Amino acid sequence: MVSRALVSARWLSGALKAKRAPALRVLDTTWYSPGGKDARKEFAERHIPEASFFDLEQCKNQQSPYEMMLPSESKFAKYAGELGICNDSHVVVYDSNNSGMLFAPRLWWMFRVFGHNNVSVLDGGLVNWMKQGLPVTSEMAHVTPETLQVTLNRSLLKSFEDIQENISSKRFQLVDARSEARFRGPEPKAGEDIEPGHIPGSVNLPFSNFLTKDGYEKPEHEIRQLFEKQGIDLMKPMTATCRRGVTACHLALASFLLGKEDVSIYDGAWSEWFHRAKPEQKVFEKRNRA
C-alpha cells in the first residue's frame, strides 16, 4: 500500500479520534546536533497524542564517520518494530522545527528506502498542529512491539562511487538542497570542519523554497515551477544531495508530490564528499573568484 505523501493536521486529528491505531503509528523525529537541545526531553514534555519518538541519532550507522548514514536493514527493522510498527502500519512522521518540516522528510524517505511505502509526512509539523489548537500531551503511548520486515530499495540510494562515476557519465541530474550560501560560499561557520562548496555538475535548489512562510508544503504548481526554473527535468533520473542527507529528502518528497517517485538520495552527501573527493572534484566558487 502507498499512502499519500502528505496528510493534514485535520486528517490526523480525525484518524486519532477514530482510534485507527495500531494500524496508524505517529512518530516524532525531531533532531538536534549532539550537544544542542534535547529532542527526546522536548518530546517527553509535549507531543501529539499516541506519538512515539524516533531517534535519528540512534537509528543510523554508528560506525560511519559521517553524520546521518542509513542503518542496516536489520537495525532499522528492529528499531521501528520496537515502536509498534509492522508491515500493515500507516506511519505518519512529523518534527517540531519552527520551519514546519525539517527532519520528517528524512524519516519518510528512510521508510521508503527500506520498502515500507505506507508512510506520510504531517504537513506543517507540530508547530502548525499547535497553531490550530489541536492537543498535545506529555503522556507516553503504550506500544506493543511488532515485527517489521524490510528490504532495501537500492534504486532510491546513491553511494560516493555512484556520484563520482556520474560526474563524467551524467546518468542522472544531481540537485543540491542546501542554501545558496552553502552551495557557493561564503566562509564556513566557526567550529565546522567542512567548507561550503558543491559537487561538479550539481544544481542548487534550496529545500526551504518548497515551504510556505507558515511551514506548509507549497502547492504542486508552485513546486513544479521551482524545478522548471532551475532547468531540472522531472522526466529524467534525479538524485538529491545536501549537507548530511536530510534536507535532500525534501527534494524527494516534493518530486513525489508531482508523481516522480524514483528520486534517489546521496546518503553521504557533502559531508562525505568534502572529506573523500579529490580536490578537482570539489567546486568552491567564492574561493575560485578570489
pLDDT given for residue 194 in this prediction: 85
CB 203 within 8 A of CB 176: yes
Handedness of CA 230, 234, 238, 241 (dihedral sign): positive
Q: Report the alpha-carbon distance of residue 258 to residue 9 in Å, rounded.
A: 21
Q: Report the alpha-carbon distance of residue 92 to residue 247 in Å, rounded.
A: 18
Q: Determine the average pLDDT of the residues in 153-168.
A: 98
Q: Report the alpha-carbon distance of residue 148 to residue 110 in Å, rounded.
A: 14
Return the active site residues: 242
What secondary structure, in 3-state letters, does the chain show? CCCCCEECHHHHHHHHHCCCCCCEEEEECCCCCCCCCCHHHHHHHCECCCEEECCCCCCCCCCCCCCCCCCCHHHHHHHHHHCCCCCCCEEEEECCCCCCCCCHHHHHHHHHHCCCCCEEEECCHHHHHHHCCCCCECCCCCCCCCCCCCCCCHHHEECHHHHHHHHHHCCCEEEECCCHHHHHCCCCCCCCCCCCCECCCCEECCHHHHECCCCCECCHHHHHHHHHHCCCCCCCCEEEECCCCCCHHHHHHHHHHCCCCCCEEECCHHHHHHHHCCHHHCECHHHHHC
For residue 169, the one-letter residue type is S
Has domain 155-289 been given CATH number 3.90.25.10? no
Instruction: Give per-residue pLDDT as tens, 240-253.
Output: 999 999 999 999 99
Is the pLDDT assigned to residue 191 strictly greater than 60?
Answer: no
Is the pLDDT assigned to residue 188 strictly greater than 70?
Answer: no
Mean pLDDT score of the chain, rounded to an integer? 93
All CATH 3.40.250.10 domain ranges of the chain, comma separated, are 6-152, 155-289
Q: How confident is the model at residue 290 (pLDDT cuts 50, 70, 90)?
A: very low
Instruction: Give per-residue pLDDT as tens, 234-280.
Output: 999 999 999 999 999 999 999 999 999 999 999 999 999 999 999 99
Q: Report the alpha-carbon distance of residue 233 to residue 236 in Å, rounded.
A: 6
Topology of the domain comprising 6-152? Oxidized Rhodanese; domain 1 (3.40.250)
pTM score: 0.95
Instruction: Give per-residue pLDDT as tens, 91-121.
Output: 999 999 999 999 999 999 999 999 999 999 9
pLDDT given for residue 35 in this prediction: 78
